[in-house]
Structure 1
Amino acid sequence: MSGVILDISRLISRVRHVTPSGVDRVEMAYARGLLDAYGQDLSFAAVHPSGPYGRLKREAALAYLDELERRWAHDKEDSRQRSLGSAVPWLTALRPIARGIGRGSGPGGVLVQVSPHHLTRKGQVGRILTREKARYLVLVHDLIPIEYPEYARPGGAELHARRMDTVATHADAVIVNSQATGASLTRWMGANGHKVPPMHVALLGTEPVSEAPPFGFDDKRPYFLCLGTIEPRKNHLLLLHLWRQMAESLPAESIPRLVIVGRRGWENEQILDLLDRCEALKPHVTEINRCSDRELAGLLRGARALVMPSFAEGYGMPIAEALSVGTPVIASDLPAHREVGGDVSDYRDPLDGPGWRQAIMDHAAPDGGTLYKEQIARIGGWHAPDWPAHMDIARKAIETLRR
């Protein structure tokens, strides 16, 4: 029986980056999980940044995965983007090997792709599958650019529609990260005349949080942690306006700190103006653009609560990470958030400013208010989605396609 091929184009495209994105972590989890499941029967392939697709030298791919994991876990002083010169040796080592181009995997092979990398190129994906003589299993993370184009970059909806058209045309089966994403994909395919392929719902595994001591600021004020790229969809504006109201109406010592961890994204001028120019916020809001895994672990463990007021999400990974270390969560009331946080997290409408302020101040009370104490009691009954369970679903999907 032919083998399994994992496309790691996304990870190779991130060769200069030190801080991983959520999709980066998923592709890494699949690399490790499929290695455990298939061993030598797993091959790696990629569309290289220089253009060609093909199989990768196994030893080079494994060494690169090790290097990325080491880099992600490294301390902050090494968190700058790598120079192009330092990336060249890896880009050279990871060029597709000649015998891997045009060499089919044989009947029964399965190509697995878990990132959106090159999904906009439907013709190229078709040629790759013909070349590999493989069936195609794709993980879909969300349809947010299509369903909420106002939160995407200009042209983002059209690009994502092309990705989903590639999935609809070529995928023999699909994995979705939540029931919410599955419902969105089913609606889109139905509306666009596509037959829905076999679909498997597998919640993303919760990344183990490093064993770092809880972080605390020198002033001992409680702090609330917001994780994710600074972009309109994440609704940072709600939090910044709430903190500005607090700064104008409360004594400084009574105002909790807001810690925003994430790179600056797009279409967010008003958010950045508040962060850069609002003097009332500066004593109370801390922005961290890059953060090592160990530093993030300390922040998660020390936070009074995670706040996640997003307007739309395909999944809620920060919710799982926070709850896994016993940190309460206040999140927007979205189906994807409830799939992760269940009945444990506190939920508020993303536009309900007074409701968010009430929940935040309850959690910020010196010994925690009623909401805080009740959620702390519920956390003990919460069970984190894990990668072994996810990979078991993925493996069963692969085996179905290999028959």
Structure 2
Amino acid sequence: MDTVVRLADGILANSEATMAALRPYLARSGRDPQLRVAHLGTEDMAPRPARVDERPYFVCVGTIEPRKNHLLLLHLWRALSEERGAAAIPRLILIGRRGWENEQVVDMLERCPALKDCVEERSGLPDTEVQALVAGARALLLPSFAEGYGMPVTEALMLRVPVVCSDLPALREAGGAVPTFLDPLDGPAWRAAVDDLTAADSAIAAGQRARLAGWTPFRWDQHIAILLDLLHSLAA
């Protein structure tokens, strides 16, 4: 970021939240590059058959790294499994490769008996398989501590899949008023949301479906238009 602040004549940020995090660097530098915010685009997805699975499941999409807070979900699923039995609870599917500094998460995934039959890791999947997995899920769960924007949120909503995510400015930019926003440390609230969404008559799912009517995703043509405006302004 020091290099960006020192050299850039124009900066394009993926969210207002990202730009807000950058502004203190700019203030200290004394430089005044041109700034624009352009959310990442989401396009209509070609219909894909959702996975046919009698056992409900939830998905979490993203690299397995500390800021994504997978530990909250793993502790939640361990508690559910120990209380009710692994076969009696929905599955959790983690979509994404393993990242770094994940000793606790990896230790739970590889050595916790209670997670063996209810938590799965999937990595290296083609986009079509990820889309099918998300489309068939009861909800996308994203308990992150920090995000720059939140593409999984917008893509899940495009598939009309409920989203439960951390109450972060960037995720509110991505999902508007549609998702259910929770504190990433509030374990009981996440558990209550999972229990609600597991039920066929989920109140959370019904509420989000109603709010979707007022949500408009940001499109790639809008993103490119903002980028071109910045480039033309710099060239003038």
SS class of match (2:161): coil
Matches within 5 A, 1:3-402: 164-190=1-27, 192-206=28-42, 208-217=44-53, 220-365=54-199, 367-402=200-235
Q: Residue by residue, what CA displacement relative to the aligned partner does 1:294-332 show, whole Å, maximum 9, x if unpaired?
A: 101101111110000000011101000100110110000
Letter in 2 for 1:222: P
Q: CA deviation at 1:252?
A: 4.0
SS class of match (2:193): helix
Find the counterpart in structure 2 of residue 89 from structure 1: none
Aligned pairs, number: 236
Q: CA deviation at 1:211?
A: 3.3
Distance verdict in 2 for CA 1:167–1:231, change over 3 Å: same
2:2–2:25 Cα contact (<8 Å) kept: no
SS class of match (1:336): helix
Q: CA deviation at 1:178?
A: 0.5
Q: CA deviation at 1:254?
A: 3.7
CA distance in 2, matches of 1:316, 1:196: 28
SS class of match (1:321): helix
Letter in 1 for 2:228: R
Q: CA deviation at 1:273?
A: 0.8
Larger Rg: 1
Distance verdict in 2 for CA 1:182–1:202, change over 3 Å: same
CA distance in 2, matches of 1:269, 1:368: 38
1:186–1:196 Cα contact (<8 Å) kept: no
Letter in 1 for 2:52: G
Q: CA deviation at 1:189?
A: 2.2
Distance verdict in 2 for CA 1:201–1:301, change over 3 Å: same
| TM-score, structure 2 normalization | 0.96
Q: CA deviation at 1:378?
A: 1.4
Per chain length, whose mean CA-contact separation is higher, i.e. which structure has more relative contact order (CA < 8 Å, sep 6+)? 2
Q: CA deviation at 1:253?
A: 4.6
Q: Give the alignment's Cα RMSD to 1 decimal.
A: 1.3
Where structure 2 has 5 or more consecutive residues not aligned to the other structure, the ranges are: none
CA distance in 1, matches of 2:129, 2:117: 21
CA distance in 2, matches of 1:247, 1:207: 37
1:212–1:295 Cα contact (<8 Å) kept: no
CA distance in 1, matches of 2:141, 2:76: 12
CA distance in 1, matches of 2:32, 2:22: 8
Q: CA deviation at 1:194?
A: 3.3
Letter in 1 for 2:201: G
Letter in 1 for 2:142: M
CA distance in 1, matches of 2:105, 2:8: 39
Q: CA deviation at 1:221?
A: 1.4
CA distance in 2, matches of 1:253, 1:289: 23
Q: CA deviation at 1:208?
A: 4.8
Letter in 2 for 1:187: P
Where structure 1 has 5 or more consecutive residues not aligned to the other structure, the ranges are: 1-163
2:86–2:115 Cα contact (<8 Å) kept: no
SS class of match (1:280): helix
CA distance in 1, matches of 2:175, 2:129: 23
Q: Residue by residue, what CA displacement relative to the aligned partner does 1:91-117 show, whole Å, maximum 9, x if unpaired?
A: xxxxxxxxxxxxxxxxxxxxxxxxxxx
CA distance in 2, matches of 1:224, 1:196: 45
Distance verdict in 2 for CA 1:252–1:170, change over 3 Å: closer
Q: Residue by residue, what CA displacement relative to the aligned partner does 1:200-238 show, whole Å, maximum 9, x if unpaired?
A: 011110155453210133xx1111110111111100000
Q: CA deviation at 1:290?
A: 1.4
